[in-house]
Amino acid sequence: MSTLLASAADAGSTSLDFSLAQEMTVIGLCALTAFIAHMALAVFNDGVRPFLLDFIQGRTTRSATAAVSFGLSAGFIFGLGAPMALSTGVLNPWLLFLPTDVLGILSPKRWLAPLLGGAWGAVVVFGLGGANDLAHDLPVDFLTALQQMSTPILFLFTLFPMLAITKQFGRLRGGIAGVVELVLVVFTMKMWPDVFPGAIAMAVGVLMLIGFATTKDLGQRRQQRAEAAKAAVGGGGSAGGDSTGAPAGTGAATEPEDPTASLFSASAARMRRYLPLYMVLGAGVCLLAQMHVFGGGEATSFLIAKGDYSGAAQVDFYRVFGFIPLIATTALASGAYAIAGFTLVYPIGYLLPNPWLALIVGALVFAVEVLALSYLGRLLGKLPSVRDSSEHLRNAISESLWLAILFGSLMAANAMGGGLGILIVGGLYLLNEAMGRIVVRMAAAPAAVIVGGVLLNILYWLDLFTPVKG
């Protein structure tokens, strides 16, 4: 276990130097995602996707939609995406795909969108390395200090299934899940010290949540069928009509038409028309994940940085369950898919042995996802508890990561500046809260570490601060 933690702590020394193939993949994928965003076929930001329906139907302008995208994305780009990439040496979707959302939607011409996206990809692959080297040469190395976030993120993230179970099914089941997860973490640390200790615990926790939700839905369906059968038997004696008193044959028993059915059908048809383009997108995202210079999440970035690709695959696989219902329903409602799909291409890509296989599998995965959207929409409509579990999972992931990032950022502040560092970073975070969260909560603490690091370097140059040793 000490080896695992040491490797995670050393992840910040990873250089942001890319091979030619990696550079071309990043630039090409950024160009493609900007082009797809321009056509309103897919965006990465889940909050932007619902706004695309008005844009697609001509009820709002391109510039207004781009303003919404920038407003919802800027904090994550500069407060989370950039700090995570600089501190781990691993690229992430907030840094790559949120800017291409904005650039693609903003571009007035179709041919300009891929040029802007490709230019952003070039800035990332050619500019981050220099910024990384510069930051590490400063008297107060705040990027290395940011590595303090790794341990809180890796371990607190493990608890998100317990939080989701507690919120949805109560304290008793949540407490049982927490005890089970703790036992599994301790057992894994003891028996398999080189394995990410949260992997098995998260798997069991997610399975428990799905089991509770599925059992509840199936029980409710059985109860509804029993009540319907009982009502049918009780109303069987009504002559010439049904139990509602309507004349026979009038169709009064026909279910009302779902007003969203036609919208969902049109959206699914629109996405199927562009299936080849989605397949190219899936191939590109899967290829980038296979190159091991990209992590799909906060915990994943640290695991990729230390070479634990199987652990990263497990973490991102469990996250999928929290996002399938959200992505499926927003895609069917808006006619725009997600840049990473259901994010299944992340864990698959991490584990594939070569890039050619990643291209093929990524394309096939996206094809299956797009073609299955209508079926998933109908299925989720029949399983309300499972659908609710997805929302609880997303909220639990956000809560656990928010605490981990905040705690890790304060640890980073202490590492680079002691009490003064904590004062500056904690003060900036609290100021952001008091001002109505100008920077989104998840990104505020890492952004405060970077700003605090700059301020501490200025104080050092003014001979007002001595860097913390060790």
Mean pLDDT of the chain: 86
Express each pLDDT in 399-432 by its tens digit: 999 999 999 999 999 999 999 999 999 999 999 9
Q: Is the pLDDT confidence value at 191 over 90?
A: no
Ramachandran bin of 63, using left for φ above 0, alpha for ψ from -120 to 50, beta for the remaining angles: alpha
Q: Which residue has the higher pLDDT, 235 or 454?
A: 454
d(CA 429, CA 439): 9
Domain range list for the chain: 2-161+260-461, 162-226
Residue 236 pLDDT class (50, 70, 90 cuts): low
Q: Is the pLDDT confidence value at 240 over 60?
A: no
Residue 253 pLDDT class (50, 70, 90 cuts): very low
Q: Is the torsion defined by CA of 408, 402, 163, 308 positive or negative?
A: negative
This prediction's pTM:
0.83
d(CA 56, CA 310): 40
Percent of the residues in the chain that have a pLDDT greater than 70, as a whole number: 90
**What was the pLDDT predicted at 251?**
44
Q: Is the pLDDT confidence value at 106 over 90?
A: yes
Mean pLDDT for 204-213 is: 90
Least confident of 86-90, 152-156, 219-223, 336-340: 219-223
Express each pLDDT in 272-289 by its tens digit: 999 999 999 999 999 999
Alpha-carbon separation of residue 165 from 179, 274, 322, 393 (angstroms): 13, 38, 13, 8
Residue in the structure block whose two tokens are 């500019």: 127
Distance of CA 322 to the CA centre of its chain: 9
